[in-house]
């Protein structure tokens, strides 16, 4: 049983999402439209954004780079790709963002970025960079916004799958599930600190607004 934000097929965990074929199944957080939606929300919330630092781990196999690039072209936004392979590279990665003169920060959720969540959010706050992340935790920890799968819903679905396996179901026969519920979390307090007025159109769609 797994919960993966990377591609389980590329990782070799399963043969396909519909028919895992191997002795594993679970939930993948991989969806084509979440990356583009997240960037669109960032641009809608902060229209002045033009140069976005894209913090990611190239070893984390997902499609977020491709989809974000596609969205960036339509939004007239330039992405500056900043690699983070391990915690030891964080200082260098953050310095690169500063040197590049980026005006926003987009964080791809992975093991490395989540391990350094507090430092990354602190950096964004100190440098007055609107931060967009893929989990509610990024906004709840002080980032401007987060858009991604609803963690509570995922936890319930994992429990259901575990129950089925305990009762005799074979993991290879259980399709890998994808998220069906998503949440937009806006940190209004962070917006105020950054001097940003969140548009009513964005606030109206938010599942949670942190005051």
Q: For residue range 137-162, what is the model confidence (pLDDT) as tens digits? A: 999 999 999 999 888 888 888 888 88
Domains and CATH numbers, the chain: 2-28+151-173 (no CATH), 32-149+182-210 (3.40.50.2300)
Query: Is 4 in a helix, a strand, or coil?
Result: strand
Neighbour-count burial for 54-70, b at 16+ CB within 10 Å, e otherwise: bbbbeebbbebbebbbe
Per-residue pLDDT, 180: 84
What mean pLDDT do residues 40-60 have? 95
Are the CB atoms for 85 and 111 separated by under 8 Å? no
Q: Which residue has the higher pLDDT, 176 or 99?
A: 99
Burial class (CB in 10 A: 0-12, 13-18, 19+), 88: exposed
Per-residue pLDDT, 6: 64
Render pLDDT for 77-95 as a digit per residue (tens, 0 to 9).
Answer: 999 999 998 889 999 999 9
| Torsion from C-alpha of 187, 193, 194, 196, nearest 10 degrees | 60
CA–CA separation, 152 and 108 (whole Å)? 20
What is the Cβ-side half-sphere exposure of residue 42, based on CA atoms within 13 angstroms?
A: 35
What mean pLDDT do residues 128-136 have? 95
Residue 17 per-residue DSSP state: S
CA–CA separation, 1 and 61 (whole Å)? 18
For residue 103, pLDDT beyond 90: yes
CA–CA separation, 84 and 63 (whole Å)? 17
């Amino acid at each position: 049983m797994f919960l993966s934000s990377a591609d389980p097929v590329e990782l070799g965990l399963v043969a396909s999402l519909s028919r895992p074929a191997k002795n594993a199944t679970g939930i993948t957080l991989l969806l084509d439209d979440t990356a583009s939606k997240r960037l669109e929300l960032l641009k809608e919330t902060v229209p002045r954004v033009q140069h976005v630092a894209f913090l990611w781990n190239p070893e984390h196999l997902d499609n977020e780079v491709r989809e974000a690039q596609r969205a960036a072209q339509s939004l007239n936004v330039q992405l500056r790709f900043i690699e983070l392979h391990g915690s030891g590279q964080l200082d260098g990665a953050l310095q690169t963002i500063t040197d590049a003169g980026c005006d926003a920060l987009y964080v791809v959720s992975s093991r490395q970025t989540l391990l350094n969540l507090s430092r990354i959010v602190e950096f964004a706050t100190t440098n007055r960079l609107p931060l967009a992340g893929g989990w509610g935790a990024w906004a709840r920890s002080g980032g401007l916004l987060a858009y991604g799968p609803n963690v509570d819903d995922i936890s319930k679905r994992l429990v259901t799958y575990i129950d089925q396996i305990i009762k005799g179901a074979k993991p290879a026969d259980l399709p890998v599930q994808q998220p069906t519920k998503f949440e937009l979390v806006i940190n209004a307090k962070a917006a105020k600190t950054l001097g940003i007025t969140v548009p009513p159109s964005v606030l109206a769609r938010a599942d949670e607004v942190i005051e």
